[in-house]
Amino acid sequence: MKGVFITIEGVEGCGKTTQLRYLGRHLAEMGYPLETTREPGGTAIAEAVRAVLLDPAHTAMTPTAELFLYEAARAQHVSERIRPALKAGRIVLCDRFVDSTTAYQGGGRGMAWETLNQLHAIATEGLWPHLTILLDIAVEEGLQRVQGVRPRDRIEEESLAFHERVRQAFLQIASLEPERVRVVEGHHSVETVRERVTALVEEFLRSHEF
Ligand SMILES: Nc1ncnc2c1ncn2[C@@H]1O[C@H](COP(=O)(O)OP(=O)(O)OP(=O)(O)O)[C@@H](O)[C@H]1O
Ligand SMILES: [Mg+2]
């Protein structure tokens, strides 16, 4: 049996990592074979690229260099980790994936979506998430949540307007692919969001007879 590829997306601090942890625990308790991972990262090489991408010292990085680094990390991650896990029949839960690149590089930096989609296809060799949970939240609220929790990375240093464009791009992706991308309001309590995410994923797994 083929695996199921589920991604969690959204702006900084919307609750992706928190919800992925709960969802992972829940699915493992239900007995599903599971692989949890994140982007950029997920393998030694891709984590090394992540460190380059997020380093606040790298203010001189050009948008094109940034884009290729994200896609390079993704190519390694998909090939080394995600595809093998799916082939082994696991549910792969990934914290951010292609939609983040479309939202940040397309929405945030203004790069052409068509070009981005072509690069995604090269990096993933055509692999696309089966289900994506988009946690939507006001950018100020999300940024406020992560403030003080850890030092700000290079992307979090961007302006509010940048993050607002990212949020709108995520919502646009959801409206273009409503079957795949399900929007959950992220401003509710952790518990409420958890219930909604769990219900969506369980419904998806039932309907796909995994
Ligand atoms: N629904 C919620 N209500 C209030 N606080 C929350 C909620 N979900 C998460 N948090 C808190 O907000 C902070 C950011 O959450 P989390 O790390 O899960 O977000 P994220 O989307 O993974 O952020 P990033 O984009 O920076 O990786 C954490 O301190 C977390 O405990
Ligand atoms: Mg996170």
The structure's pTM equals: 0.96
SS3 61: coil
pLDDT of residue 210: 58
pLDDT digits (tens, 9 = 90+) for 144-195: 999 988 888 988 888 999 999 999 999 999 999 999 999 999 999 999 999 9
Q: What mean pLDDT comes out for the span 3-11?
A: 98
Q: Where are the domains of the chain?
A: 4-207
> In angstroms, what is the span from residue 117 Cα to ligand 2's centroid?
23
**Amino acid identity for residue 13 in this structure:** G
Q: Spell out which residues have Cβ within 5 A of ligand 2, the ion.
A: 16-17
Residues 13, 158: Cα–Cα separation, whole Å? 14
User: How far is ligand 1, taken at its centre, from the CA of residue 106, in Å?
Assistant: 24
Ligand 1 pocket, 17 CB below 6 A?
A: yes
CA atoms within 13 A on the CB side of 141: 13
Say how many CA atoms lie within 13 Å of 47 toward its Cβ. Answer: 7
- What digits encode the pLDDT tens for the residues 11-68? 999 999 999 999 999 999 999 999 999 999 999 999 999 999 999 999 999 999 999 9
Q: Is the CB–ligand 1 distance for residue 14 below 6 Å?
A: yes
Q: Does domain 4-207 have CATH number 3.40.50.300?
A: yes
Distance 148 CA to ligand 2 centre (A): 14
CA separation for the pair 167, 58 (Å, rounded): 24
Residues 6+ apart with CB under 8 A from 167: 11, 103, 107, 136, 137, 138, 139
